[in-house]
Amino acid sequence: MKRHERGFTLVEISVALLALGLVLLAAVVFWQQSERQRVTVRQMEVQDQSRDAVLGFVQAHHRLPCPAADTGGAENCAQGQVGHLPWRTLGLPRPEAGQLRYGVYREASATAPDDRDLTVQMDRMNPLRVVTPDPRPQNDIAPNESAPITPQTVEVPLGATRSGMESAPLDAACDASDSPPCPATPVLRATSLIDVCLALNTATDAEVAPAAGLAVRALGATGSRRAMAFVIAAPGLLDADGNGSAFDGENASASDASPTFAAAQAAVTDTYDDLVLAVSHAELFSTLHCGAALAAISHAHVNAGTGALVMERALYDYRDQLYVAVKLAEADVAAAAAGVLSGISAGLDAAKEMLAATADTTMSVGARSFQIGLAAAGIAAAVAGGAAAIAAQVDAALSLAEAEDVWEDFAARTTAMTDVARSVNENALKADAIGY
């Protein structure tokens, strides 16, 4: 009997291939998701390390790094606002960070306080100040010939406040009453973190980024551009939008001429799988604790200086009132002296009347003896008036001495307040020189 071997039918083969295809498809999807997750975690880790490195660079150099022209990682400030992450300049031990794209806000200005180029180390700080009392009012015996100034603010640039010496950070050539108060030529490391803070603070004035400024695209229907201090973009696993670049959408097209990246919160889709880490000016301002520093250097000093000048002016006005009191006391002493002389004159006149009354009584054989009593009463009244005048003179002299003591003591205090008003402005210069 002849036996025949049986094989798989076409249906069975089709079912097997279908099952195998489903398994392979599931495996590919699983691998893709796993690989995307792995790549995402790794890229987020590199982005976080890069962000920390940028913050450390700011602390050390008082500016942000410029973009790199290529994946070599060396910053190139001629590159403009957008390029590759300067991982070598930042000291990152991860060459794969060179695959990240990096953008930094750059808006230069010829006026230092208005400059917003975050990659430039510049002495931008020019705190609002009050006029320094100069010449220094003196306490003479008369009211001030040089009256204290009326408080008013000044915005003349400070100049280079830093001396370059850690032991004495303020340049010895600085004088708060000069305009400008410090030399114009800066020394090495004449800037501090406060200059970065000022640039960050002024760059947050506009809600929508200027056309030439670094920005990310906001989510929503408007799609407006939001200004950012710096942006670090990482490519996803795939070229999701098929543009021939590892980056998708605006992350691929961002350039110095069009410095716009995709939103940091953009969701992963079939045409987009990039990761964007964007740090706004306000976020960097907060991270660097700029608020307290600017409040102390830029605002607290002018408030304290204004208060000192107002108090100084009030003290000098009161001192002049005390001077008037001294003059009134001197007038009282003079009036009391005149009263004493008047009392002496009255006593002499009463003595003369006594002699005349005695003569009349003798000539009238006692008929006019009553005049002697009247003359005696006049003498007694003159003596009493003289005693009162002497007492008034003593009291006036004591009052004058007390008024002079009060005036002299208060005059010394007004000089001390002038010194306080001057020192507040000097401290503003020191604060700019020291930074924080």
Q: Does pLDDT of 387 surpass 60?
A: yes
Q: pTM surpassing 0.85?
A: no
Mean pLDDT of 242-270: 90
- pLDDT of the residue at 312: 78
**Phi, psi for 221 (deg, rounded to 5):** -70, -35
41-71 tens-digit pLDDT: 788 888 999 999 999 999 999 999 999 999 9
Please report, for the chain, how many H helices and E strands are present, in that order: 8, 9
Per DSSP, what are the bridge partners of residue 103? 82, 231
- pLDDT of the residue at 358: 66
- pLDDT of the residue at 33: 65
Higher pLDDT, 67 or 416: 67
- Of 37, 62, 191, the closest CA to residue 123 belongs to 191
Mean pLDDT of 410-430: 78
- pLDDT of the residue at 276: 93
**Phi, psi for 138 (deg, rounded to 5):** -110, 155
152-198 tens-digit pLDDT: 667 677 777 777 777 788 888 888 877 788 877 666 666 788 889 98
Higher pLDDT, 205 or 314: 314
Contact by Cβ (8 Å): 97, 65: no
Q: Does pLDDT of 2 surpass 60?
A: no
CB atoms within 10 A of CB 59: 11
Q: Does pLDDT of 244 surpass 70?
A: yes
Q: Which two tokens stand for residue 390?
A: 């002497």
Q: Does pLDDT of 381 surpass 70?
A: no
Q: Which of the listed ranges 41-45, 96-100, 235-239, 395-399 does the model predict with the highest average pLDDT?
A: 96-100
Q: Mean pLDDT over all residues of the chain?
A: 79
Mean pLDDT of 99-116: 90
- pLDDT of the residue at 256: 92
- Distance of CA 92 to CAs 40, 72, 84, 104, 357, Å? 19, 12, 13, 18, 122
DSSP 260: E
314-359 tens-digit pLDDT: 877 887 788 888 888 778 777 767 766 666 665 666 566 666 656 6
Contact by Cβ (8 Å): 195, 126: no
- pLDDT of the residue at 340: 65
Write b or e for each residue in 239-250: b if 16 or more Cβ atoms lie within 10 A of its Cβ, otherwise e.
bbbeeeebbbbb
Q: How confident is residue 147, by pLDDT bands cut at 50, 70 and 90? A: low
Q: Does pLDDT of 207 surpass 80?
A: no
Higher pLDDT, 277 or 94: 277
> Which three-class secondary structure state does DSSP give residue 289?
coil
Q: Does pLDDT of 264 surpass 80?
A: yes
> Which three-class secondary structure state does DSSP give residue 269?
strand
